[in-house]
């Protein structure tokens, strides 16, 4: 029997018709153009910037442009942080990372240009598309390799979550949003030391207790949360408000994924729980190590599918918000 290959092939997914990312409420005074780019619509908005779908007239390609929000243009720290995000992204070159093509400034407002992904965020995608264990393993495997790419360059993401992973029409994932990415083991100043950066539902315990100690294993933990959510349809730590969620992350153990979805293979659950161990020293020590475990699982699933071709992959339940 020929060995099944999982390292280079694109992730298998069912034929799909996605309802594309909907235009969000447009920023007041949104321009028709930014630089040479013709603005089509606003597709995203965050604490730091606004994202537009735009046409590059030089190439005829659609691009995504992230521009600093107008209400932040008088903040020197915001301008500096925005520029640092673009500079960080220029360092990355990985097929599953949404990289910066160029950056510029329009009337004193900075922006940068990225490839446009015609698809949806991971959380939107799984609400519309029924995928199986094999597909989920493929997504997490490729994102773990993307994380290893940024870790090797001395950075941690700190905000890995389904809404920061884009899925194109072929089911390929892309890691995005490096706004709170920072150097591994960077010494924080007194003002930053007590700040808890990240999204509460997707934070490692050390991000809450000791932000100065976070390293690549914090991203591994959160990737475990994402994997848990994709396979069970629920987040491992839910509560009544932010303080309750953070308390559960610190002191509660997550319910076994197989108790929520008994068809999840035991070996898959083992990977999730190792990634989500509350002690960093007991987790996978790198995203590469987690990727290797996932690759082994994918190979076993692929071989099992060849031996039992009429068996179907476990279908994932819809994610509950």
Q: Which residues are catalytic?
A: 159
Closest CA to 316 of 129, 162, 131: 131
* Residue 210, C-beta contacts closer than 8 angstroms, at least 6 positions apart: none
What DSSP string runs through 131-143? -BHHHHHHHHHHH
Other beta carbons less than 10 A from residue 281's beta carbon? 7
C-alpha triplet 253, 258, 260: angle, nearest 5°: 80
Give dist(CA 88, CA 80) in Å, integer.
12
* DSSP-derived 3-state class of residue 106: strand
**97-129 per-residue burial string, b: 16 or more CB within 10 A, e: under 16:** bbebbebbeeeebbbbbbebbebbbbbbbbeeb
Please name the residue ranges forming H helices in the chain. 76-90, 122-128, 133-152, 190-193, 205-209, 216-232, 242-251, 257-260, 266-275, 287-307
What's the half-sphere exposure (Cβ side, CA atoms, 13 Å) at 237? 27
């Amino acid at each position: 029997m020929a060995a099944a290959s999982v390292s280079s092939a694109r992730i298998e997914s069912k034929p799909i018709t996605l309802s594309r990312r909907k235009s969000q409420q447009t920023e007041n005074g949104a321009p028709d153009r930014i630089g040479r780019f013709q603005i089509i619509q606003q597709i995203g908005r965050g604490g730091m910037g606004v994202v537009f779908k735009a046409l590059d007239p030089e190439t005829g390609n659609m691009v995504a442009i992230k521009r600093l929000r107008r209400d932040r243009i008088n903040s020197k720290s915001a301008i500096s942080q925005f520029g640092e995000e673009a500079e960080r992204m220029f360092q990355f070159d990985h097929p599953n990372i949404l990289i910066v093509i160029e950056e510029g400034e329009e009337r004193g407002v900075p922006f940068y240009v990225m490839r446009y992904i015609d698809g949806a965020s991971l959380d939107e995608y799984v609400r519309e598309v029924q995928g199986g264990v094999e597909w989920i393993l493929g997504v997490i495997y490729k994102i773990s390799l993307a994380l290893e790419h940024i870790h090797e360059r001395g950075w941690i993401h700190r905000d890995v979550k389904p809404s920061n992973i884009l899925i194109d029409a072929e089911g390929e994932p892309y890691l995005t949003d490096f706004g709170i990415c920072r150097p591994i083991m960077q010494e924080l100043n007194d003002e930053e030391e007590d700040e808890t950066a990240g999204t509460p539902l997707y934070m490692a315990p050390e991000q809450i207790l000791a932000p100065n100690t976070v390293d690549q294993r914090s991203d591994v933990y959160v990737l475990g949360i994402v994997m848990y959510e994709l396979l069970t349809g629920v987040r491992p730590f839910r509560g009544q408000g932010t303080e309750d969620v953070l308390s559960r992350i610190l002191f509660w153990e997550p319910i076994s994924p197989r108790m929520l979805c008994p068809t999840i293979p035991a070996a898959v659950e083992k990977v999730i729980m190792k990634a989500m161990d509350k002690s960093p020293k007991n987790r996978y020590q790198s995203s590469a190590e987690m990727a290797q475990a996932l690759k082994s699982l994918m190979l076993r699933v692929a071989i099992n599918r060849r031996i039992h071709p009429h068996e179907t992959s476990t279908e994932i339940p819809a994610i509950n918000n």
